[in-house]
Amino acid sequence: ARLVAGDSLDRLLTLNDAVKIVGLEIDPAGLAYHGFTVVGDRVEVTNCVLHGGTGDVLAVSGNYARIVGNVVYPRVYGIRITAGKGHRIADNIVDGSMYSSTRPLIHVSDAELVDISHNRLHGGQSDGIFVQRTPRVSIKDNLIENVGDVSVIIYGVDETYRTYDSEIAGNIIKNPGNNGISVAYLTGGAIKNNIVRGASNHGITTGSCAGLLIEGNVLMDNGLRGMSIVDTIECLIRNNIARDNGDWGIAESGASDYNMIEYNDVRGNATGAIHLVGANSRARRNIGYPTENRGVATIPAGSTRVTVNHGLVKAPRIVLLTPAGNARVWYENVTDTSFDIVTDTAPSTDLQVAWYAEV
């Protein structure tokens, strides 16, 4: 069936409990405010072709909605969830380029337990997936290309509406007009195994977050930072590739602290590899940001010291020395580039000293 709007319509269909819509095409022709308005529970909209009017293509305020396998062409919002729990938005194509849509392609607010997966989102002037005041949301395995603003946002708004226990995983993001992934006021979530290329600004950015796992992401060729960590604490950031970005590979700012940054590849970024501001944050064992090194130095016969160029990003906090034989040695004059190994008695033959240094 095909429904076309008239001038006086506010919406084409209002769906109540347990209604199933399959294979319908609707075209408000730019006139109706909403296409579907879902106010009931357990509504299914599958395999439909949905053109947008001046409002939402599909507005959901019930529980356990299943929006699967549709093709959506929004003018304003695409698929919009405004309440409820247990929703699934999967396997849809949402194309904002046909009518140059002005609001997010998928927008979720004031809900919980929402699954957004395996969708293909393209174009439009605004965000790809925008989630606010919604805990326990899963955004997985979506392809998001050429959106006008941020590709994926989870936004808790402020401390009053801080959200938690959400996951952004396995998404492929290309050429957003702003950041690839942005999260704010999120506690206890994960950002894993995403690919972000060609973002105008940052690949991933966090604001006022805590206790996140940020792991296994590929962040390359983005206009500013590969990963921007702002006012964020107690996160584990590991096994990411943040390379060839226009600013830092991974950088803290603001009140960020107590973050562990390890086993990342941060080579080839324009400003630098890693930038820390937190007194208790640590970076270790990253490729392109040497924080550990070891070697063997030689104090020449007749001398009592040798200078070692340690090759670390800054002065080491830890220096361990192991001399050959029974010589007594210690270190002095530690700087951002070197330290001295000193012995109390000049050896009659060259004295080798194994060393280990760590920032």
Q: Please tell me the distance from the alpha carbon of residue 154 to that of residue 139, in angstroms, as a whole number.
A: 10
pTM for the model stands at 0.89
| Mean pLDDT over each residue of the chain, to the nearest integer | 91
| CA dist list (Å): 280 to 45, 187, 211, 226, 259 | 50, 19, 15, 22, 7
pLDDT value at 9 more than 50: no
Backbone angles phi, psi at 274, to 5 degrees: -135, 140
Residue 150 binned pLDDT confidence (cut-offs 50, 70, 90): very high
Residue 17 binned pLDDT confidence (cut-offs 50, 70, 90): low
71 strand-pairing partners? 49, 93
List pLDDT tens digits, range 252-311: 999 999 999 999 999 999 999 999 999 999 999 999 999 999 999 999 999 999 999 999
Of 132, 219, 226, nearest in space to 173 by CA: 219
Q: What's the confidence (pLDDT) of residue 28?
A: 63
Q: What's the confidence (pLDDT) of residue 24?
A: 78
Q: Please tell me the distance from the alpha carbon of residue 199 to that of residue 215, in angstroms, as a whole number.
A: 19
Q: Please tell me the distance from the alpha carbon of residue 137 to that of residue 49, in angstroms, as a whole number.
A: 26
Distance of CA 310 to the CA centre of its chain: 34
Q: What's the confidence (pLDDT) of residue 69?
A: 96
Name residue, tokens 């947008």: 52
Q: What would the mean pLDDT of 147-151 be, rounded to a whole number?
A: 98
Collapsed DSSP state (helix, strand, coil) of residue 159 = helix
Q: Please tell me the distance from the alpha carbon of residue 81 to that of residue 66, in angstroms, as a whole number.
A: 11
Return the minimum-mean-pLDDT range out of 34-43, 278-287, 322-331.
Answer: 34-43
Q: What's the confidence (pLDDT) of residue 141?
A: 98
Type of residue numbered 300: P
Return the minimum-mean-pLDDT range out of 7-16, 97-106, 195-204, 284-293.
Answer: 7-16
Return the minimum-mean-pLDDT range out of 53-67, 232-246, 269-283.
Answer: 53-67
338 strand-pairing partners? 309
pLDDT value at 72 more than 50: yes
E-strand stretches of 198-238:
204-207, 213-215, 218-220, 227-230, 236-238
Of 337, 304, 349, 343, nearest in space to 321 by CA: 343
Residue scoring higher pLDDT (269 or 165): 269
Give the rounded percent of residues in the chain with a pLDDT score beyond 90.
80
CB distance 292 to 358 below 8 Å: yes
